[in-house]
């Protein structure tokens, strides 16, 4: 009594990532290692996720102390934890649901309670103040902010409202190539069409507005384009967009009546000369009529800064210039999944409102975050140097984000071999890298890339010695690989 | 440049709950109280959620100690926390992603890392062992279990696979009335059709198989029924299904080729004579061919037992007899939302594997859970007694779950008044109850009920004194209301 024939064809259209083959393989290799099977390495270095803690980056002490105290308030008795930790934990607890002392003799606020659909009002308020500070005073209205179970969660719900599966023409979403793999999957799963626009690798993965025009032109008659998705700082490409480029994108969105989806989760991770500026700020600076009309959703997350609390699942979306009627539907959809994880919301509060100079936790917090930042800056420099020194390998400058996305100039023989194995050439490369050197990176073909080009993606938010080991393994492997297939 | 005309009509079809009006009103009343406005009460008693901590039930010490230690492992140094807490925390941390000591001198596992899409393998394994113990040895395969961000999350994803928005006929899902309000919303949001089957109130909200036949017959020609959704123990109705009734449901599902969706999140909350038995166990006991063919998804949650950790967002689904090809699509959809919150997963681990006799934490854990259990048993008895003693109010026995769902026999005058105000009569009742007595309950019209009948739902997972205050306010209000409208 299988229902396979009957299931949603949209869901059937969702492609399986090349990465899933590599993940299965990794599981087997780890099992082999556990059982003592001899390999050229003793442990797999998994740099396939944008997950700092997985790579060995340490959690921030302040963050973990506050979270622990909220969970187990007995920790607030005594002086074990710094006073600002205890005060912050108490303040956060007071914002949770529960009884005050008004009716009963007891007081019981617990983060085990559901929060409101859009998050705890006090945290939403503080996130809104953070946004306004970040944007040089551009106002932010808490009613336009929704905390959620990770930014991807919110993006999928908004796509759900925008993508109209029953319309005569399918809905199209302009999406960068390369692009973080989950968003195209979500668009397809909802019955929408991905319209790729290619970032210019030779110009440091720049977003060029002519390419947006080309992409839009290319889908005429095939779908109804409704939104433009941008990722800044880039994932996987690691570029940071200039203000000028963002202005062009905003004008394009306005002219073509496209809803702007700005994935800005790596805004805290910028290493190059270009500063991060939010789409909301640039839009506001452009003034009316643009600043009053272009519909924008901007996403941020507690997983993606130097805090790196991926496991807690905390993100938010801010909606700008939305028709209240559309916002109502977004809210209804958010309601259908209950409330977001409270610990993820607290992580967002701490990320957007860290200890300030003079606070007892400030010094340690500053040292820990500076250590991560300087490590990553060193990592980025080292990774690009090493890769660009290797024959058949090249890497654009990594200006922001969590990844390097170097291009591999694969020999024809390797491409041929991959074809024979029924694999994408860069998946073939990654599989060999995994088997021979114990490095799990992910293949460019999962992200979209210009026909005939090949890439790999790996996380650079790592302790410096781990990156060193990774680059050593990668260099040795690559040199041998190029020799074998030349 | 609004896109309102263009948004998905499925999303537009999602109805707004009556409750949202009450929630807005509550916000205003709380604000008034904060500002010192005089009301007949000093605090709103919010019993509209199935959220024990919100009602004042205390978190379990063992659970919070383990969670705090996982978050802030420094707490494991020294003897402050019981040894089984420290051991469990260490074991859980070792299952998270990070580096072992093999390659580098340091060891770093953090629950700040993403877990696998279906959850941390060690926890999935232990959940699977719990299921098998619960079901008297019926085997459970970890590969069929997916941990997730709350059971509702998993249910929506599975509906997403089952509901085919593009099919010539819309997909139908048989759904109980009354029914927890989120599931019908999700079905409609995906473009499916809710086919209500009515539980028999006069027979203690029994699910009668003849009613399933009637409901299925009634939708002929209008939709293509594909699944049958059951909630046991019931929400909001509080019934517990007998084995015999479940066998009938399974035979019906098999005969009509329906996918069985069993919402069993209240399995730990049973107070009457009928024991909880899982659908999986009953299906297995029925033997082949049924036990090999009926497709079943069973849901459970860390929010809904006496642990009540709603804010952590941890649930799981177990899939039985699924076509591997269908399972693949479910997995793909799960992947699109990244990994579930790690703290919610840990809560599931602790719920399914509590301290055992002899463990240092056992006694306190036992006392705390027994206290909650005996309180709720007392609450249920008291609530039914009080309500059934009031004129125009009647309540079936609450055998399980978190709610009482009494019927209000509203006077014609009250119904007329509600109509004039453009409101459902039970919403009108709830609004008066809120304004005059400071009690936030939710109206039966949000859950589905037989035409011409009216109900309210309120949570009974409360400290006994809170329930006492609630019943006092409700009685006084109800008596006055009936007088005013008689």
Instruction: Supply the CATH number for residue A271's domain.
Output: 3.40.640.10
Q: Is the pLDDT of residue B206 over 70?
A: yes
Whole-number Å distance between alpha carbons of B334 and A156: 12
Q: How far apart are CA A211 and CA A310, in angstroms?
A: 33
End residue of a domain, out of B327, B352, B377: B352
- Specify the 3-state DSSP secondary structure of B45: strand
DSSP B76: G
Q: Decide if B56 contacts A99 (C-beta within 8 A).
A: yes
Same domain, A66 and A52: no
The pTM assigned to this predicted structure is 0.95
Pairing of strands B224-231, B259-263: parallel
Q: What are the structure tokens assigned to B4, written together?
A: 């309102």
Nearest to B7 among A149, A161, A344 (CB): A161
Note whether A295 and A320 are same-domain residues.
Answer: yes
Mutating which of A4, A5, A8, A314 best tests the B interface, going by the most B Cβ atoms within 10 A? A8
The least confident of A75-89, A442-456, B94-108 is B94-108
Q: What is the pLDDT of residue B53?
A: 92
Give the one of A43, A71, A224 whose C-beta lies nearest to B68's C-beta.
Answer: A71
Closest Cα in chain A to B15: A332
Chain A segment 27-86 residues within 8 A of B by beta carbon are 42-43, 45-46, 49, 51-54, 56, 58-59, 64-65, 67-69, 71-72, 75
**Co-location of B203 and B125 in the same domain:** yes
Dist CA A134 CA B107 (whole Å): 36
- From residue B357, alpha-carbon distances to B91, B352, B368 in Å are 19, 15, 14
Within-domain flag for B357: no
* Per-residue confidence (pLDDT) for residue A104, from 0 to 100: 58
| Residue where a domain terminates, one of A327, A352, A377 | A352
Q: What does the pLDDT look like over B411-459, one tens digit per residue? A: 999 999 999 999 999 999 999 999 999 999 999 999 999 999 999 999 9
Please report whether residue B358 resides in a domain.
no
> What is the β-pairing status of strands B171-177 and B224-231?
parallel
Q: How far apart (Å, rounded) are the C-alpha atoms in residues A189 and A17? A: 14
How many domains does one find in chain B? 3
Query: DSSP 3-state assignment of B264?
Result: coil
Positive or negative: CA dihedral A119, A297, A309, A48: positive
User: B112–A311: do the CB atoms touch at under 8 Å?
Assistant: yes
Q: Average pLDDT of A69-93?
A: 94
Considering the domain boundaries, does residue A33 fall inside one? yes
Query: In this complex, which of B6, B162, B336 lies closest to A226 when CB atoms are compared?
Result: B6
At residue B228, does pLDDT exceed 60? yes
Give pLDDT tens digits for A325-368: 888 888 888 887 768 999 999 999 999 999 999 999 999 999 99
d(CA B285, CA A297): 51
Count of other CB atoms within 10 angstroms of residue A479: 14
Three-state secondary structure along chain A? CCCHHHCCHHHHHCCCCCHHHHHHHHHHHHHHHHCCCCCCCCCCEECCCCCCCCCCCCCCHHHHHHHHHHHCHHHHCCCCCCHHHHHHHHHHHHCCCEECCCCCCCCEECCCCCCCCCCCHHHHHHHHHHHHHHCCCCCCCHHHEEEECCHHHHHHHHHHHHCCCCCCCCEEEEEEECCCCHHHHHHHHCCCEEEEEECEHHHCCECCHHHHHHHHHHCCCCCEEEEEEEECCCCCCCCCCCHHHHHHHHHHHHHCCCEEEEECCCCCCECCCCCCCCHHHHHHHCCCCHHHHCCEEEEEECCCCCCCCHHHCCEEEEEECCCHHHHHHHHHHHHCCCCCCHHHHHHHHHHHCCCCCCCCCHHHHHHHHHHHHHHHHHHHHHHHHHHHCCCCEECCCCCECCEECCEECCCHHHHHHHHHCCCCHHHHHHHHHHHHHCEECEEHHHCCCCCCCEEEEEECCCCHHHHHHHHHHHHHHHHHHHHHHC
A162 chain-B contacts, CB cut-off 8 A = 3, 6-8
The 8-class DSSP code of residue B220 comes to T
Query: Minimal Cα–Cα distance from A295 to chain B, Å?
Result: 8
Q: Is residue B1 part of a domain?
A: no
Give the single-character DSSP code of B84. H
Q: Are residues A302 and A159 in the same domain?
A: yes
**Chain A positions in Cβ-Cβ contact with residue B43 (cut-off 8 Å):** 99-100, 102-103
Band of pLDDT at residue A99, cut at 50, 70 and 90: low
The closest alpha carbon to A310, from B339, B359, B443, B326, belongs to: B339
Query: Rounded distance, CA A350 to CA A64, Å?
Result: 10
**Subunit contact B325:A165, Cβ cutoff 8 A:** no
Q: Is residue B467 part of a domain?
A: yes
Arithmetic mean of pLDDT, B129-156: 96
Q: Where is pLDDT greater, at A165 or A40? A: A40
In percent, how much of chain B has pLDDT > 90?
Answer: 80
**A11/B161 touch (CB, cutoff 8 Å), yes or no:** yes
First to last CA, chain A: 53
Residue A361 lies in a domain: no
B51 closest CB neighbour out of A42, A68, A97: A97
Under a CB-based contact definition with an 8 Å cutoff, are residues B422 and B21 in contact?
no
Residue A392's CB is within 10 A of a number of other CB atoms, namely 16
> Which residues span the domain enclosing B75?
61-113
- Kindly tell me the sign of the dihedral angle through the C-alpha atoms of A79, A80, A81, A86: negative
| Residues A161 and A102 reside in one and the same domain | no
* A2 within a domain of the structure (yes/no): no
Query: Is A102 a residue whose pLDDT tops 80?
Result: no
Residue B192 and residue B172 in contact, taking contact as beta carbons nearer than 8 Å = yes
Q: And the tokens for B211?
A: 């009613």
Same domain for B412 and B309? no
CATH number of domain containing B89 = 1.10.287.1970
Helix, strand or coil, per DSSP, at residue B432: helix
Chain A residues 361-420 with CB within 8 Å of chain B: none
Q: Domain check: are A425 and A474 in the same one? A: yes
C-alpha distances out from residue B141 to A25, B138, B323, B466, Å: 21, 10, 15, 42
Could you give the angle at the alpha carbon of A49 between the alpha carbons of A46 and A51, nearest 5°?
100
- B-chain residues near A99 (CB < 8 A): 43, 56, 466
B385 shares its domain with B328: no
Which of B56, B104, B313 lies closest to A108 in CB terms?
B56
Regarding beta strands B171-177 and B193-198, do their DSSP bridges make them parallel or antiparallel, or are they unpaired?
A: parallel
Judged by CB atoms closer than 8 Å, whether chains meet at A149 and B67 is answered as no
Check: CB of residue A349 under 8 Å from CB of residue A92: yes
Candidate from B156, B165, B339 with C-beta closest to A165: B165
Sequential DSSP letters for B115-161: --TT--HHHHHHHHHHHHHHTTT----GGGEEEESSHHHHHHHHHHH
- The C-alpha atoms of residue A203 and residue A201 are separated, in whole angstroms, by 5
Tell me the shortest Cα–Cα distance from A93 to chain B, in angstroms: 12
- Co-location of A326 and A209 in the same domain: yes
Contact B97, B112 (CB under 8 A): no
Structure tokens at B25: 């009103």
C-alpha–C-alpha distance, residues A346 and A183, integer Å: 26
pLDDT tens, position by position, A281-338: 999 999 999 999 999 999 999 998 889 999 999 999 999 999 888 888 888 888 877 6
Same domain, A211 and A341: yes
pLDDT confidence band for B337 (50 / 70 / 90): confident
pLDDT per position as a tens digit, A124-177: 999 999 999 999 999 999 999 999 999 999 999 999 889 887 778 899 999 999
Residue A354, Cβ neighbours under 10 Å: how many? Answer: 18
Query: Is A11–B308 a contact, with Cβ atoms under 8 angstroms apart?
Result: no
What is the ipTM metric for this complex? 0.94
Give the list of residues 6+ apart from residue B380 with CB closer than 8 angstroms, or none.
Answer: B271, B398, B404, B460
Q: Does residue A3 belong to any structural domain of this protein?
A: no
Contact B185 A335 (CB under 8 A): yes
The CA dihedral of B322, B326, B328, B330, to the nearest 10 degrees, is -90
* B147 and B78 both lie in a single domain: no
pLDDT value, residue B45 = 93
The answer to whether residues A98 and A131 belong to one domain is no
pLDDT at B1 over 60: no
Mean pLDDT, chain B, whole residue set: 93
Two structure tokens written together for A454: 């090949």
Backbone angles phi, psi at A25, to 5 degrees: -60, -45
Mean pLDDT of chain A: 93
CATH code at B450? 3.90.1150.10
Which of B113, B135, B153 is where one domain is finished?
A: B113
């Amino acid at each position: 009594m299988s229902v396979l024939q009957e299931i949603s064809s949209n869901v059937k259209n969702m492609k399986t990532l090349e990465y899933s083959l590599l993940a299965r393989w990794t599981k087997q290799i780890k099992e082999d290692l556990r059982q003592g099977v001899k390999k050229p390495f003793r442990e797999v270095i998994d740099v396939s996720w944008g997950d700092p803690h997985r790579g060995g980056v340490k959690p921030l002490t302040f963050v973990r102390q506050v979270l622990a105290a909220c969970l187990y308030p007995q920790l607030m008795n005594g002086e074990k934890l710094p006073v600002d930790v205890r005060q912050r934990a108490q303040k956060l607890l007071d914002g949770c649901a529960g009884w005050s002392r008004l009716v009963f003799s007891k007081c019981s606020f617990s983060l085990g309670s559901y929060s409101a659909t859009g998050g705890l009002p006090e945290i939403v308020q503080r996130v809104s103040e953070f946004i306004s500070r970040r944007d040089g005073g551009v106002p932010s209205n808490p009613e336009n902010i929704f905390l959620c179970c990770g930014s991807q969660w919110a993006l999928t719900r908004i796509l759900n409202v925008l993508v109209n599966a029953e319309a005569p023409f399918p809905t199209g979403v302009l999406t960068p190539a390369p692009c973080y793999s989950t968003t195209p999957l979500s668009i397809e799963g909802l019955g929408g069409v991905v319209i790729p626009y290619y970032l210019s690798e030779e110009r440091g993965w720049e977003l060029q507005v002519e390419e947006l025009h080309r992409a839009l032109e290319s889908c005429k008659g095939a779908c109804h384009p409704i939104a433009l998705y941008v990722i800044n700082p880039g994932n996987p490409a690691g570029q940071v967009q200039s203000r000028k480029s963002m202005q062009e994108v905003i004008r394009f969105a306005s002219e073509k009546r496209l809803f702007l989806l700005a994935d800005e989760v790596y805004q805290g991770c910028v290493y190059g000369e270009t500063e991060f500026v939010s789409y909301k700020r640039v839009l506001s600076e452009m003034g009316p009529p643009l600043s009053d009309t272009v519909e924008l959703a901007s996403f941020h997350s507690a997983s993606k800064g130097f805090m790196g609390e991926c496991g807690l699942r905390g993100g938010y979306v801010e909606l700008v210039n939305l028709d209240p009627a559309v916002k109502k539907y977004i809210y209804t959809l958010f309601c259908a999944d209950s409330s977001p994880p409270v610990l993820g919301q607290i992580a967002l509060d701490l990320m957007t409102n860290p200890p300030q100079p003079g606070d007892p936790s400030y010094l340690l917090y500053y040292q820990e975050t500076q250590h991560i930042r300087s490590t990553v800056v060193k990592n980025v420099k080292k990774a690009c140097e090493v890769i660009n020194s290797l024959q058949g390998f090249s890497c654009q400058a990594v200006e922001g984000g969590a990844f390097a996305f170097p291009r591999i100039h694969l020999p024809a023989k390797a491409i041929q071999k991959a074809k024979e194995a029924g694999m994408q050439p860069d998946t073939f490369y990654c599989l060999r890298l995994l088997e021979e050197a114990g490095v799990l990176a992910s293949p460019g073909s999962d992200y979209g890339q210009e026909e005939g080009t090949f890439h790999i993606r790996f996380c650079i938010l790592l302790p410096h010695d781990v990156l060193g080991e990774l680059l050593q393994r990668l260099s040795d492997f690559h040199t041998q690989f190029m020799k074998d297939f030349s």
